[in-house]
Amino acid sequence: MSGFSLRSLTFMLLIAFMVWSSSFEACIARRGRHWRHRSRATSSSSSLYSKKKGKNHGSSSGSSHHNYRGGSKPKAPPHYKAAPPVGPPPPPTVVKPGDDTPASPPKYKGGYNNGVHFNVRDFGAKGDGSTDDTKAFQAAWAAACKVEASTLAVPAQYQFLVGPISFSGPYCEANIVFQLDGTIIAPTDPKAWGKGLLQWLEFSKLRGITIQGNGLIDGRGSVWWQEASPYDDPADDELKLIIPLNSTVHEHPPVPIRSKLSGKMPSIKPTALRFYGSFNVTVTGITIQNSPQCHLKFDNCVGVLVHDLSVSSPGDSANTDGIHLQNSKDVLIHTTSVACGDDCVSIQTGCSNVYIHNVNCGPGHGISIGSLGRYNTKACVSNITVRDVVMQNTMNGVRIKTWQGGSGSVQGVLFSNIQVSEVQLPIVIDQFYCDKGSCKNQSTAVAVSGITYERIRGTYTVKPVHFACSDNLPCTDVTLNSIQLKPVQERYHMYDPFCWQTFGELMTPTVPPIGCLQIGKPSSNRLQSDHDSC
């Protein structure tokens, strides 16, 4: 009996313990849920406090950010790209003046694009085509400049009148996108230009700057083109080779009549869009038209990408080069159409590693290296490739032009698969370039060597080949391969191929025969001194 009572008591105690344990776990669970609920409330409260604090301390945050930039933290090199994030990026954030967001948003830490957008309309731009929106663009840029990988948006269906402006660093963050979907037009009031400026829209000292979109930059250059300017380049030297069949053909067809209401524009004509001293520059998708002078210029830039660009101005608009490169390297231009009144692409001194392909050119003066060596200067150009290009009704096809008296060199150039249609002078090397009445004969020259022409085909209207090289420093290693050029009698006197002091190799028979090319190397060629070499 006592044994039975002991077992019963033990069993009852076990049952009681289990019931008590169950109640305790439920209590702990309830306490846990209550703790988590309080945690969310505390987090929410902290978030609200942070927002208020951010608003109150926005200026101080911006000041701290600026001071930190001058500190010792190393910056990523321009080519640095952060690894892609895991998972989808957050939705874009739109920042407007007056919002409760901090005045200086947090710095981009890498990974996905933080998607901060600055719309010029939110900074006061009207976009009605008549109100001056320059200050609104300046304010939007000042905000975007502080945020890495931000976007400055120029929305579609608006026309923004913008005066001369500089979107400049070097204290801007990297990888800013200028999203151009609307239209930017230049002022035609002379007062907006003062005594004249060299550029209209300038981007300088930036890292990873991109201009993209479906928008338009319109320089409204017809108000500048009517009168010649002392700052203009004189008429292209190759015009002396193009002699009309009769005197009724104009060397310079009339340009559009300028509006009497516009007043007299300054003598100095601006470039529409210029990049200076910048790394990793991209221009894609947009259209640039009717620039007063050059349309798109790159000076002292490293890492340039231009594609799916359209450049358009009348063929008689003087000195309106399409794309101008100077002291820039690592350049890629492709899938682009250029119609203008001067060179479709101009490659000047200090350029190297330039690759141009799939470009339509015309009207215009073709694709040119130079002019180089003017005023006895040193010029260095190397590693240039131009291929898969279509040229129609241009003055020149592919051209190298240098002045007497210069020094330096042009070397390592390939012109390949160029289709020409009624081009006046498809292949040109001119070491006697002179765009004025007469030039002094000089013995020194920019050395030209290692130039290859292959698969240059189509029709010409004046002369298929013009090689005029220096007496003291002939052109060497000039290679011709698969050249097939047929004449089309149009408005000009026609001439046979011309060569002077040009040495190289014929890889295949040419049409027409180019017997004037001297095979091999010159017997006595002046060696480049250390001073002349690049």
The full DSSP string for 399-430 is: EEEE-TT-EEEEEEEEEEEEEEEEESEEEEEE
Same domain, 385 and 284: no
Q: Residues 226, 230, 233, 234: is their CA dihedral positive or negative?
A: positive
In this structure, is residue 320 part of a structural domain?
yes
In this structure, is residue 10 part of a structural domain?
no
- Calculate the dihedral angle through the C-alpha atoms of 311, 314, 317, 319, rounding to the nearest 10 degrees: 30
Determine contact, residues 278/210, Cβ cutoff 8 Å: no
Same domain, 184 and 332: yes
Same domain, 471 and 379: yes
Q: What is the pLDDT of residue 115?
A: 73
Residues with a known catalytic role? 365
In this structure, is residue 507 part of a structural domain?
yes
Rounded Cα–Cα distance for residues 183 and 350 (Å): 33
Exposure string for 148-174, b = 16+ CB within 10 A, e = fewer = bbbbbbbbeebbbbbbbbebbbeebbb
- Structural domain of 475: 359-524
Tokens at residue 208, please? 């990873």
Q: At how many degrees (to 10) do helices 58-69 and 2-56 cross?
A: 80
Rounded Cα–Cα distance for residues 246 and 419 (Å): 29
Same domain, 433 and 489: yes
DSSP conformational letter for 142: H
In this structure, is residue 36 part of a structural domain?
no
What distance lies between CA 400 and its chain's CA centroid? 22
Same domain, 321 and 466: no
Rounded Cα–Cα distance for residues 162 and 264 (Å): 19
What distance lies between CA 355 and its chain's CA centroid? 13
pTM summary value: 0.77
Same domain, 432 and 490: yes
Same domain, 333 and 373: no
Same domain, 376 and 337: no
Determine contact, residues 372/408, Cβ cutoff 8 Å: yes
* Angle, CA 319 vertex, CA 251 and CA 447 arms, to 5°: 95
In this structure, is residue 354 part of a structural domain?
no
- Ramachandran region of residue 242, left (φ > 0), alpha (ψ -120 to 50) or beta? beta
Which residue among 342, 369, 390 closes a domain? 342
In this structure, is residue 256 part of a structural domain?
no
User: What residue has token string 């009549």?
Assistant: 257
**DSSP of 5-64, one letter per residue?**
HHHHHHHHHHHHHHHHHHHHHHHHHHHHHHHHHHHHHHHHHHHHHHHHHHHHTHHHHHHH
Q: What is the pLDDT of residue 417?
A: 98
Give the CATH number for residue 387. Answer: 2.160.20.10
Tokens at residue 217, please? 């930059």
Which residue among 310, 342, 374 closes a domain? 342
Rounded Cα–Cα distance for residues 101 and 51 (Å): 7
Domain total in the chain? 2
pLDDT along the chain (534 residues), means of 10: 55 60 42 34 32 35 33 33 36 37 31 72 98 98 97 98 96 97 97 93 98 98 80 81 75 46 78 98 98 98 98 95 98 98 98 98 97 95 98 98 96 98 98 83 94 98 97 96 95 95 97 96 66 68
Same domain, 499 and 374: yes
In this structure, is residue 40 part of a structural domain?
no
Which residue among 299, 316, 342 closes a domain? 342
**What are the beta bridge partners of residue 410?**
381, 448
Same domain, 382 and 289: no
Q: What is the pLDDT of residue 233?
A: 74
Same domain, 272 and 376: no
Helix (H) or strand (E) holding 303: strand 302-307
Same domain, 319 and 182: yes
In this structure, is residue 45 part of a structural domain?
no
Backbone phi, then psi, for 289, in 5-degree steps?
A: -140, 150
- The sheet that has 323-326: what strands, in order across it? 165-168, 199-204, 271-276, 296-299, 323-326, 345-347, 367-372, 396-402, 425-430, 465-468, 498-500
